[in-house]
Copies of this chain bind each other. A is one copy, B any other.
């Protein structure tokens, strides 16, 4: 039995968090976060597929690939430490090393993640100061988790957390995570950083398998601007504190996988809704599709279309743009079979029936499109596969934010 609870990375037993303000780039706010478990945790992760990978991504990949146990994740916002060459790798090492020194653990037990401006170097002195503050501030409070989630925000307007408590076989485990991401979001992975913690015991390979699968239907199904970042990182740490062991083919496995998918999907939706400049969350459900892969392609094509996104912004039921975006997705289908339904609040209305305009009211459509969450259901009528993708509208504010982000 899964229950959504308040909290994030400190929800699972034995996990602590901290945040600190170093002034490395931002003033008057926190810009470093730490997630820590005294008991060593196995870890899994997925990372950006961008050829240009930031220094922390390279560092984490090596640790995750080796399957080593870890104790901590240190994150900073404001500076992405991408395209910074050998110097960037050194400063990433410093970030891990300083935290390791403060916590009395090994440097290779510290994962790192950075987000912010590409090409700018981290500052050694500030990293040292940050590590000291973080180590002093660790706590397993819900508030500490929230503050960590706040410290990693860049252009995000709200912090993102999700946590669940799961009862299985009379015992309880927790999965909780935080993430950030608002622009340069087109995960494959999305600049999203996400750290999820859990207190189950699990083999690293199995954890990686579950994480990789969860990503396909959550983080990889959102987009703000089609720009796959250099820094995308999704880390999951499992420290075994709950006493529950997850093995393949057990009810614990099913319960744990459901929990990881739930938390990652919740975080993904929160990121899409908080897309840079966004005023609305766009959800596209592709149903009755021939294959799952096609359903994903079709859904992602609609949520990434600038024309669909601007029409949504303008509350214009320009369904032709939806059909157009389905059409160039790369998936084959019969245009004359498609039905498109718009849902918002508790109302729904068919816009397109069998590939042509349905007899609908533009006035009602506009009312539905003015809601904060709008769903388009695209019924392909050719099979049973389905997928859901999440995006947001493209607004004047997005252009304003990104026309002048660095200054």
Contacts and interface: CB of A to CB of B under 8 A. Distances in A.
Interface of A: 49-53, 80, 82-85, 87, 117-119, 183-184, 186, 188, 225-230, 304-307, 310-311, 313-314, 316, 318-321, 323-329, 331-333, 335-336, 352, 354-357, 394-396, 398-407
Contact residues of A: prevailing secondary structure: loop
How many identical chains are in the complex? 2
A333 B51 contact: yes
A314 B403 contact: yes
Contacts of A84: 356
B316 A406 contact: yes
A10 B31 CA distance: 63
Contacts of A304: 226
A227 B307 contact: yes
A118 B321 contact: yes
A359 to B, nearest CB: 13
A333 B407 CA distance: 30
A349 to B, nearest CB: 15
A402 B306 contact: yes
A325 to B, nearest CB: 7
A229 B119 contact: no
A306 B226 contact: yes
Nearest to A310: B402
B399 A49 contact: no
Contacts of A85: 336, 354-356
Contact of A52 (B87, B230, B314, B327): B327
Contacts of A355: 83, 85
A119 B357 contact: yes
A226 to B, nearest CB: 6
Contact of A407 (B316, B398, B403): B316
A115 to B, nearest CB: 12
